[in-house]
Amino acid sequence: MQVDSSRTNATRPIAVFFLVALSFLALATLRAASVPYWNGMFLLGLVVFGWIPMMFGFLLSLPFTAHRIGSPFLVAAPFVLMLVVMVALALDAPFQARFALSHEAMNRIVSTAGPDCQDAGLYRLCPEPLYIDEDDTPDGVRFAVDEGSLEDNRGFAYAPNGVPESFGDDDYEHLTGKWYRWKGWDGW
């Protein structure tokens, strides 16, 4: 049986389009999940307006194109990509990787933290004093992660003089050494 190569090549751009679009969605999703405490509304928007429509469109196109694409990789790749992203999110891998790559730079800026935001590894951090006890002396530094959005209520805390306790709207989770993941009130 002879395959009409013009029909096969005509359907490849559709499969490649879905693969490229889903790859960009995967990168955006992993980037959004690489900060301390995810921005749930942004990730929900990616799922509702990105992942679901793209996968739905891909699934709808399969009966018409799968037999003509000619490459099992192009058919399976979107599903594999979605599975890899879901596993990475479940393991908190985007945050752990970004934090590990930035940890040394973050240690360096603790001693030089001025009032302005500065780059530390793969994060842009904006410092503010951290108070653990009742006195007016700062017990460490809290860094809001500046991702270019309006949210500045997530970041890191460096607490060399004690353990910051979660209270009110502030929540702390130990990461390593004297570093903590911090989340403040988000209005929800």
Task: Give which of 37, 34, 29 is closest to 84, Cα–Cα.
Answer: 29
pLDDT of 175: 93
pLDDT of 128: 86
Alpha carbons within 13 angstroms on the beta-carbon side of residue 11 total 18
**Contact predicate 94/88, CB 8 Å:** yes
pLDDT digits (tens, 9 = 90+) for 30-42: 998 998 888 778 8
Residues 6+ apart with CB under 8 A from 129: 138, 140, 141, 142
Per-residue tokens: 45: 């928007």
Task: Give which of 150, 170, 169 is closest to 159, Cα–Cα.
Answer: 170
Share of the chain above pLDDT 90, in %: 39
pLDDT digits (tens, 9 = 90+) for 91-140: 999 999 999 999 999 999 988 777 888 999 999 999 988 877 777 667 78
